Amino acid sequence: MSERERAPLLELDSLDAGYGDLRILTDIDMAVGDGEYVAIVGPNGAGKSTAMKSVFGLTTHMGGSVSFRGEPIHGAESSDIIDYGITYVPQSGNIFTSLTVRENLEMGVFMAEEFPEETIREVFDYFPILEERQQQRAGTMSGGQRQMLAMGAALMSDPDLLLLDEPSAGLAPDLVDDLFDRIDDVNDDGTAILMVEQNAKEALRRCDRGYVLVNGENAYDGPGRELLDDEEVRQRFLGG
């Protein structure tokens, strides 16, 4: 079954958004299918993070729509969006440094009635170091470990869609590869991924589809490999 025949999980339709009076995004169209791995790349200031934040209700909505399984979600509270099945890993400030690893994971399912034993097993499978260091103060972990914790916490509620904002930022190159491998694992198990990445090459190489945003507008989109091979895209964003 081709991608086009599946109903989109997440759809951004002619979205205008920004912060306060400042408009960042103009007429953005984007879609993520069930279980798809979608990357958003583009130059600095293109509005990539803003697009992601718009999905999670953290921006000022100015036009168009954001819908999840057909339901409009662009005015919703963060807690409602989590209920829909979307979780978000911000680029920075994404863990509670004074809480333990375990407590951070517990915060990931803060609103749940019971603690999901199965899900935490899965998270520990993706990121074994988290199981090892459950009682460690999160603030004393290394950069790479923190990223894994942030992602683990977001995965605790078994989301249908995981939003990742520049997961490789500030990581040493060998750790970046490791991290992306794990993201692949998460996606292979059925979680849809929407990822903003500065590291366009890696992102486009691994994703199913990609969007290139320039100046707050759609520029290119298509299967990741195609974008990677596209001359224009290479010239402008991938350094040739």
48 binds other proteins (CB under 8 A): no
44 binds other proteins (CB under 8 A): no
Binding-site string for other proteins from residue 177 to residue 206, where x marks contact by CB under 8 A and - marks none: ------------------------------
- Phi first, then psi: give them for residue 124, nearest 5 degrees: -65, -30
What Å distances lie between residue 214 and 28, 36, 56, 88, CA to CA? 11, 23, 21, 23
> How far separated are the first and last CA of the chain, in Å rounded?
34
153 binds other proteins (CB under 8 A): yes
Half-sphere exposure in the Cβ direction for 135 (13 Å, CA): 0
What Å distances lie between residue 55 and 10, 59, 88, 164, 207, CA to CA? 9, 9, 9, 12, 19
Give least dist CB 108 to other proteins, A: 7
Position among 34, 85, 99, 184 found at the interface with other proteins (CB under 8 A): 99
111 binds other proteins (CB under 8 A): yes
Alpha-carbon distance 69 to 60, whole Å? Answer: 22
**194 or 227: CB nearest other proteins:** 194
14 binds other proteins (CB under 8 A): no
Binding site for other proteins (CB under 8 A): 56, 58, 78-79, 82, 88, 90, 93-100, 103, 106-108, 110-111, 133, 135-137, 139-141, 153
